[in-house]
Amino acid sequence: MTEVAPVSRRSRRMFVPVAAIVVLGLAWCGFWWFAAQRAEATIAAWIEQEAGHGRVYSCASRTVGGFPFRIEVRCAQPAMELTGLQPPRVVKARELVGLAQVYQPNLIIAEITGPVSIAEAGQPATWQADWEMMQASLRGVAGRPERLSVVLDRVTFDQATGGSADRLGSADRLELHVRRGVAAAEDKPVVDFAAEAAGAVVRGGPLTGRPLDAEIAGVLRGVSDLRPRPLPERLKDWQTAGGRLELTKLRVKQGEAIAIAAGDVGLTPAGRPDGVINITMAGFETLVRDMAGAGGNLQLGLLAGLAFLGRPAEIEGKRAVSVALRFNDGAAFLGPIPLGRMEPLY
């Protein structure tokens, strides 16, 4: 009898941590299941809300997994119909996978498998894009969206005509970053944006086939309604809301030529551009020669105007010229030289 008590105490000491692990495991399973159900409910509510904004989402099949540390939603053959456009447009992809860590549900990482096609509802695709990798992240989904980032590697853009695809352009890498302004109020929305393109090639014009690098950053004010609508209607509402585009940085480099620009542009009540963009270019002599040989009269005129009207400047140690491109109620001026008057945008 005297040896039974010590054995029992040892058994209890071994049983307690095992039982604790089992309880914690069961609790975690319950927590993950609850989080997965919340994710499904959130997705369903979001899809219903988006449908009210003219974006109808669907999947051929949808599954939820990722146990034990994340919630993973896999959508096969995702489609988005933009019912607010006339005629409606349909965007389709091969697969979409979205995941969020159970301890950070307000950050969603998504991967989309191409190709992605755009077509009028019920018609064959007219536009198509494909890539090696596309990843997007969205923060703030628990409340209002706060930040969106999209990165694409080895992307191509094609236009489908008569059963064949014509290459419109390509890029080694594309990045887009959009976030709600820190001091933005509901009645005065502000969106900060930045985008980069590396090794981009665009078809058409005298510079076809020549890769370029570009980056742009700025602030867009007055955009609050993101429902798909005709562009003239959207621009009119943007102007009414006091919308402005503040271009803080635009840099384009192609070979030895470099161009940078910054400025501020909006629309007048009549729907015409109004503002100033300051442009500085270096190494443009080669571009002028190439465009002259290729018949790029408009581009040639703009570059020649920069050469004769611009102020001396410098970009990255290179001699450059700087000139202002002004819009005065739709009337465009390159320095003091009038370029014409633009028609109303709505």
Q: What are the pLDDT digits (tens) for 31-75?
A: 788 877 777 777 777 788 788 888 899 999 988 888 888 889 899
Q: Which of 5-14, 146-155, 176-185 has the highest mean pLDDT?
A: 146-155
**Mean pLDDT of the chain, nearest integer:** 83
Q: What is the pLDDT of residue 79?
A: 95
Q: What is the pLDDT of residue 284?
A: 67
Q: What is the pLDDT of residue 158?
A: 93
Whether 171 shows a pLDDT value over 50: the answer reads yes
pLDDT digits 0-9 by tens, 219-242: 999 887 777 778 888 899 999 988
Residues 6+ apart with CB under 8 A from 80: 55, 56, 57, 90, 91, 92
Which pair of tokens denotes residue 72?
């993973």
Percent of residues, the chain, with pLDDT higher than 70: 82
Give DSSP secondary structure letters for 111-177. Answer: EEES-EEEEETTS--SEEEE-SEEEEEEE-TTSS--EEEEEEEEEEEEEEETTEEEEEEEEEEEEEE
Of 293 and 188, the one with more pLDDT = 188
Distance of CA 124 to the CA centre of its chain: 25
Of 122 and 286, the one with more pLDDT = 122
What per-residue string of b and e applies to 64-101 under the rule 16 or more CB within 10 Å gives b? eebeeebbbbbbeebebbbbeeeebbbbbbeebbbbbe
Mean pLDDT of 279-303: 63
In this prediction, residue 18 has a pLDDT band, given cuts at 50, 70 and 90, of confident
Name 137's bridge partners.
109, 149
Q: Tokens 């975690």 correspond to what residue?
A: 28
Separation between Cα atoms, residue 115 and residue 14, nearest integer Å: 56
pTM, two decimal places: 0.81
Q: Which of 116-130, 189-203, 302-316 has the lowest average pLDDT?
A: 302-316
Of 228 and 306, the one with more pLDDT = 228
Separation between Cα atoms, residue 299 and residue 288, nearest integer Å: 8
Helix or strand or coil: residue 306? helix
Helix or strand or coil: residue 289? helix
Mean pLDDT of 151-168: 87
Q: What is the pLDDT of residue 1?
A: 47
In this prediction, residue 27 has a pLDDT band, given cuts at 50, 70 and 90, of confident
Number of residues in the chain: 346
Which pair of tokens denotes residue 140?
């703030």
